[in-house]
Protein backbone atom coordinates (compact mmCIF):
# COMPACT_ATOMS: atom_id res chain seq x y z
CA UNK A 1 0.00 0.00 0.00
CA UNK A 2 2.53 2.58 -1.21
CA UNK A 3 1.73 6.23 -1.86
CA UNK A 4 3.33 8.42 -4.52
CA UNK A 5 4.61 11.87 -3.60
CA UNK A 6 5.72 14.62 -5.99
CA UNK A 7 8.26 17.05 -4.52
CA UNK A 8 10.65 19.82 -5.57
CA UNK A 9 14.26 20.54 -4.67
CA UNK A 10 14.99 19.24 -1.18
CA UNK A 11 17.26 22.17 -0.36
CA UNK A 12 14.69 24.84 -1.20
CA UNK A 13 11.14 23.45 -1.29
CA UNK A 14 9.70 24.06 2.16
CA UNK A 15 6.28 22.69 1.29
CA UNK A 16 7.87 19.53 -0.12
CA UNK A 17 9.72 19.01 3.16
CA UNK A 18 6.41 19.11 5.00
CA UNK A 19 4.81 16.60 2.65
CA UNK A 20 7.72 14.18 2.95
CA UNK A 21 7.75 14.39 6.75
CA UNK A 22 4.08 13.35 6.85
CA UNK A 23 5.27 9.97 5.56
CA UNK A 24 8.80 9.71 6.93
CA UNK A 25 8.03 10.58 10.55
CA UNK A 26 4.95 8.37 10.73
CA UNK A 27 6.20 5.21 9.04
CA UNK A 28 4.04 5.34 5.91
CA UNK A 29 5.39 3.81 2.68
CA UNK A 30 5.94 6.30 -0.13
CA UNK A 31 7.65 6.49 -3.52
CA UNK A 32 9.11 9.96 -4.06
CA UNK A 33 9.19 11.68 -7.47
CA UNK A 34 11.34 14.81 -7.77
CA UNK A 35 11.46 17.82 -10.06
CA UNK A 36 13.55 20.99 -10.07
CA UNK A 37 11.66 24.06 -8.88
CA UNK A 38 11.01 26.94 -11.29
CA UNK A 39 11.56 24.67 -14.28
CA UNK A 40 9.47 22.76 -16.77
CA UNK A 41 10.26 19.60 -14.82
CA UNK A 42 7.56 20.44 -12.29
CA UNK A 43 4.87 20.78 -14.97
CA UNK A 44 5.89 17.48 -16.54
CA UNK A 45 5.94 15.70 -13.19
CA UNK A 46 2.52 17.01 -12.21
CA UNK A 47 0.95 15.78 -15.44
CA UNK A 48 0.59 12.44 -13.66
CA UNK A 49 -0.74 14.15 -10.51
CA UNK A 50 -3.57 16.12 -12.14
CA UNK A 51 -5.35 18.25 -11.07
CA UNK A 52 -2.57 19.27 -8.63
CA UNK A 53 -0.74 22.42 -9.72
CA UNK A 54 2.02 22.60 -7.10
CA UNK A 55 4.33 20.34 -5.14
CA UNK A 56 3.91 18.50 -2.92
CA UNK A 57 1.15 16.41 -4.41
CA UNK A 58 0.16 12.96 -3.23
CA UNK A 59 -1.40 10.03 -5.02
CA UNK A 60 -3.03 7.34 -2.90
CA UNK A 61 -2.53 3.64 -3.70
CA UNK A 62 -6.03 3.74 -5.18
CA UNK A 63 -5.00 6.54 -7.55
CA UNK A 64 -6.72 9.51 -5.87
CA UNK A 65 -4.70 12.74 -6.04
CA UNK A 66 -4.49 15.17 -3.12
CA UNK A 67 -2.69 18.50 -3.44
CA UNK A 68 -1.89 21.15 -0.78
CA UNK A 69 0.04 20.16 2.33
CA UNK A 70 -2.78 20.69 4.80
CA UNK A 71 -5.08 18.44 2.77
CA UNK A 72 -2.36 15.78 2.48
CA UNK A 73 -1.87 15.83 6.25
CA UNK A 74 -5.58 15.54 7.00
CA UNK A 75 -6.02 12.75 4.46
CA UNK A 76 -3.18 10.70 5.90
CA UNK A 77 -4.38 11.27 9.46
CA UNK A 78 -7.86 10.07 8.47
CA UNK A 79 -6.57 7.02 6.62
CA UNK A 80 -3.96 6.09 9.25
CA UNK A 81 -5.32 7.13 12.67
CA UNK A 82 -2.82 4.84 14.39
CA UNK A 83 0.18 6.69 12.91
CA UNK A 84 -0.08 9.67 15.25
CA UNK A 85 -0.24 12.66 12.92
CA UNK A 86 -2.33 14.48 15.53
CA UNK A 87 -1.98 14.50 19.34
CA UNK A 88 -4.27 12.10 21.18
CA UNK A 89 -5.35 14.66 23.78
CA UNK A 90 -8.42 16.51 22.41
CA UNK A 91 -7.30 19.96 23.57
CA UNK A 92 -3.82 19.42 22.16
CA UNK A 93 -5.33 18.21 18.91
CA UNK A 94 -7.44 21.36 18.63
CA UNK A 95 -4.41 23.57 19.16
CA UNK A 96 -2.29 21.53 16.75
CA UNK A 97 -4.87 21.93 13.98
CA UNK A 98 -5.12 25.64 14.72
CA UNK A 99 -1.35 26.13 14.53
CA UNK A 100 -1.11 24.17 11.29
CA UNK A 101 -3.84 26.29 9.72
CA UNK A 102 -2.13 29.52 10.83
CA UNK A 103 1.20 28.33 9.41
CA UNK A 104 -0.45 27.31 6.14
CA UNK A 105 -2.01 30.75 5.64
CA UNK A 106 0.28 33.11 7.51
CA UNK A 107 3.82 34.30 8.25
CA UNK A 108 4.09 35.75 4.76
CA UNK A 109 6.79 38.28 5.59
CA UNK A 110 9.04 35.64 7.14
CA UNK A 111 8.44 33.28 4.23
CA UNK A 112 8.96 35.98 1.63
CA UNK A 113 12.06 37.61 3.11
CA UNK A 114 13.74 34.40 4.31
CA UNK A 115 13.10 31.54 1.86
CA UNK A 116 14.18 28.10 3.00
CA UNK A 117 17.75 27.22 2.04
CA UNK A 118 19.22 24.15 3.75
CA UNK A 119 22.61 24.46 2.05
CA UNK A 120 23.78 27.64 3.80
CA UNK A 121 23.67 29.66 7.00
CA UNK A 122 24.45 33.34 7.47
CA UNK A 123 25.13 35.82 10.24
CA UNK A 124 24.51 39.54 10.19
CA UNK A 125 21.50 39.60 7.90
CA UNK A 126 19.25 42.63 8.60
CA UNK A 127 15.82 41.75 9.98
CA UNK A 128 12.93 44.11 9.31
CA UNK A 129 10.02 44.91 11.59
CA UNK A 130 7.55 42.70 9.71
CA UNK A 131 9.79 39.65 10.01
CA UNK A 132 10.37 40.42 13.70
CA UNK A 133 6.61 40.49 14.18
CA UNK A 134 6.29 37.05 12.58
CA UNK A 135 9.08 35.74 14.80
CA UNK A 136 7.33 37.15 17.86
CA UNK A 137 4.14 35.38 16.90
CA UNK A 138 6.03 32.11 16.43
CA UNK A 139 7.61 32.46 19.85
CA UNK A 140 4.19 33.07 21.40
CA UNK A 141 2.41 30.08 19.88
CA UNK A 142 5.37 27.73 20.27
CA UNK A 143 5.72 28.68 23.95
CA UNK A 144 2.00 28.18 24.56
CA UNK A 145 2.03 24.72 23.01
CA UNK A 146 5.24 23.69 24.77
CA UNK A 147 4.11 24.93 28.19
CA UNK A 148 0.70 23.23 28.00
CA UNK A 149 1.47 20.02 26.16
CA UNK A 150 5.21 19.62 25.58
CA UNK A 151 6.37 18.10 28.85
CA UNK A 152 6.94 14.61 27.42
CA UNK A 153 9.33 15.51 24.60
CA UNK A 154 11.07 18.26 22.65
CA UNK A 155 8.19 18.87 20.25
CA UNK A 156 5.26 21.25 20.44
CA UNK A 157 2.95 18.62 21.89
CA UNK A 158 5.55 16.31 23.42
CA UNK A 159 5.58 13.61 20.75
CA UNK A 160 6.20 14.58 17.14
CA UNK A 161 3.01 15.55 15.29
CA UNK A 162 1.89 17.01 12.00
CA UNK A 163 2.26 20.45 13.55
CA UNK A 164 5.99 19.89 13.95
CA UNK A 165 6.25 18.82 10.31
CA UNK A 166 4.53 22.07 9.36
CA UNK A 167 7.00 24.17 11.35
CA UNK A 168 10.14 22.29 10.29
CA UNK A 169 10.82 24.71 7.38
CA UNK A 170 10.38 27.65 9.77
CA UNK A 171 13.02 26.15 12.06
CA UNK A 172 15.24 25.85 8.98
CA UNK A 173 14.73 29.53 8.15
CA UNK A 174 15.72 30.56 11.67
CA UNK A 175 18.85 28.43 11.35
CA UNK A 176 19.77 29.64 7.87
CA UNK A 177 19.43 33.35 8.58
CA UNK A 178 20.40 33.30 12.29
CA UNK A 179 17.10 34.97 13.14
CA UNK A 180 16.66 36.44 16.63
CA UNK A 181 14.46 34.26 18.84
CA UNK A 182 14.47 33.43 22.54
CA UNK A 183 15.61 30.27 24.33
CA UNK A 184 12.35 28.30 24.01
CA UNK A 185 12.26 28.84 20.26
CA UNK A 186 15.99 28.17 19.94
CA UNK A 187 15.57 24.83 21.73
CA UNK A 188 12.71 23.92 19.41
CA UNK A 189 14.78 24.85 16.35
CA UNK A 190 17.65 22.73 17.69
CA UNK A 191 15.31 19.74 18.03
CA UNK A 192 14.47 19.99 14.34
CA UNK A 193 18.09 20.37 13.26
CA UNK A 194 19.04 17.27 15.27
CA UNK A 195 16.09 15.18 14.11
CA UNK A 196 17.36 12.23 12.01
CA UNK A 197 14.61 12.62 9.43
CA UNK A 198 15.35 16.31 8.96
CA UNK A 199 19.07 15.48 8.68
CA UNK A 200 18.36 12.83 6.03
CA UNK A 201 16.31 15.29 3.99
CA UNK A 202 19.03 17.92 4.21
CA UNK A 203 21.76 15.43 3.27
CA UNK A 204 19.77 14.34 0.22
CA UNK A 205 19.40 17.98 -0.81
CA UNK A 206 23.14 18.53 -0.51
CA UNK A 207 23.69 15.39 -2.60
CA UNK A 208 21.53 16.91 -5.35
CA UNK A 209 24.22 19.63 -5.45
CA UNK A 210 22.20 22.38 -7.11
CA UNK A 211 21.99 26.07 -6.28
CA UNK A 212 18.83 27.94 -7.22
CA UNK A 213 20.03 31.26 -8.72
CA UNK A 214 16.87 33.06 -7.63
CA UNK A 215 17.78 32.48 -3.98
CA UNK A 216 21.13 34.30 -4.12
CA UNK A 217 19.64 37.80 -3.45
CA UNK A 218 18.33 36.50 -0.10
CA UNK A 219 21.75 35.52 1.22
CA UNK A 220 23.15 37.16 4.34
CA UNK A 221 26.32 39.13 4.83
CA UNK A 222 28.61 36.52 6.40
CA UNK A 223 28.36 32.80 5.78
CA UNK A 224 28.72 30.62 8.86
CA UNK A 225 28.75 26.85 9.49
CA UNK A 226 25.40 25.10 9.54
CA UNK A 227 24.22 25.31 13.18
CA UNK A 228 22.92 21.74 13.38
CA UNK A 229 24.90 18.75 14.67
CA UNK A 230 28.27 18.38 12.97
CA UNK A 231 28.18 15.36 10.64
CA UNK A 232 30.68 12.54 10.90
CA UNK A 233 33.54 13.06 8.45
CA UNK A 234 33.56 11.01 5.25
CA UNK A 235 35.45 11.54 1.98
CA UNK A 236 35.22 10.35 -1.59
CA UNK A 237 37.31 7.29 -2.32
CA UNK A 238 38.15 4.64 -4.87
CA UNK A 239 37.23 1.02 -4.34
CA UNK A 240 37.31 -1.77 -3.53
CA UNK A 241 35.00 -1.60 -0.54
CA UNK A 242 34.30 -3.90 2.37
CA UNK A 243 30.72 -4.39 1.19
CA UNK A 244 29.69 -5.85 -2.15
CA UNK A 245 26.06 -4.64 -2.02
CA UNK A 246 24.63 -1.17 -1.40
CA UNK A 247 23.13 -0.86 2.08
CA UNK A 248 20.07 0.90 0.61
CA UNK A 249 19.20 -1.03 -2.54
CA UNK A 250 21.09 -4.31 -2.22
CA UNK A 251 22.54 -3.74 -5.71
CA UNK A 252 26.23 -4.17 -6.58
CA UNK A 253 28.45 -1.25 -5.57
CA UNK A 254 30.02 1.16 -8.06
CA UNK A 255 30.69 4.35 -6.02
CA UNK A 256 32.76 4.64 -2.85
CA UNK A 257 33.51 6.72 0.25
CA UNK A 258 35.94 6.43 3.13
CA UNK A 259 34.99 6.86 6.77
CA UNK A 260 37.21 6.15 9.78
CA UNK A 261 39.77 4.58 7.49
CA UNK A 262 37.32 2.07 5.99
CA UNK A 263 35.90 2.10 2.46
CA UNK A 264 32.22 1.55 1.75
CA UNK A 265 30.44 1.12 -1.58
CA UNK A 266 27.10 2.26 -3.00
CA UNK A 267 25.06 1.48 -6.10
CA UNK A 268 25.07 5.05 -7.48
CA UNK A 269 26.40 8.54 -6.87
CA UNK A 270 23.29 9.75 -5.05
CA UNK A 271 23.40 6.92 -2.49
CA UNK A 272 27.06 7.68 -1.89
CA UNK A 273 26.72 11.46 -1.75
CA UNK A 274 23.76 11.62 0.62
CA UNK A 275 25.73 9.37 2.99
CA UNK A 276 28.85 11.46 2.49
CA UNK A 277 27.05 14.57 3.75
CA UNK A 278 25.74 12.99 6.99
CA UNK A 279 26.56 9.29 7.49
CA UNK A 280 24.90 9.00 10.90
CA UNK A 281 21.57 10.20 9.51
CA UNK A 282 21.14 6.93 7.59
CA UNK A 283 20.43 3.93 9.82
CA UNK A 284 20.84 1.33 7.06
CA UNK A 285 24.37 2.50 6.38
CA UNK A 286 25.35 2.76 10.03
CA UNK A 287 23.91 -0.69 10.74
CA UNK A 288 26.09 -2.10 7.97
CA UNK A 289 29.14 -0.37 9.41
CA UNK A 290 28.39 -1.60 12.92
CA UNK A 291 27.81 -5.16 11.74
CA UNK A 292 30.98 -5.48 9.70
254-282, pLDDT tens digit by residue? Answer: 999 999 999 999 999 999 999 999 999 99
Per residue in 69-94, pLDDT tens? Answer: 999 999 999 999 999 999 999 999 99
Residues 182 and 136 in one domain: yes
Position 256 scores a pLDDT of 98
Q: Domain ends where: 79, 103, 129?
A: 79
CATH number for position 22: 3.40.30.10
Residues 74 and 110 in one domain: no
CB atoms closer than 10 angstroms to residue 138:
26
Closest CA to 205 of 149, 264, 262, 281: 281
Residue 283 lies in a domain: yes
Q: Domain ends where: 50, 79, 108?
A: 79
Please give the tally of structural domains in the chain.
3
Mapped onto helix, strand or coil, the DSSP state of residue 13 is coil
Q: Domain ends where: 79, 108, 136?
A: 79
Assess whether pLDDT exceeds 80 at residue 292: no
Residues 253 and 280 in one domain: yes
Residues 264 and 176 in one domain: no
Per residue in 104-125, pLDDT tens? Answer: 999 999 999 999 999 999 998 8
Residues 62 and 100 in one domain: no
**Residue range of the domain that includes 19:** 3-79
Amino acid sequence: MTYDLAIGDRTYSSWSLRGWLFFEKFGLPVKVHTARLYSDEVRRLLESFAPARLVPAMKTPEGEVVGESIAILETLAERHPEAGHWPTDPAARMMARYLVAEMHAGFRDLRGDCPMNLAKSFAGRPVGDAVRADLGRLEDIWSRARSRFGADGPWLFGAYSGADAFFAPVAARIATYDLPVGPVAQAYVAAHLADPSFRRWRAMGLAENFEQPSYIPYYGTVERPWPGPAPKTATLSDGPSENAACSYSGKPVTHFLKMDGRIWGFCNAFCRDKTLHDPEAFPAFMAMVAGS
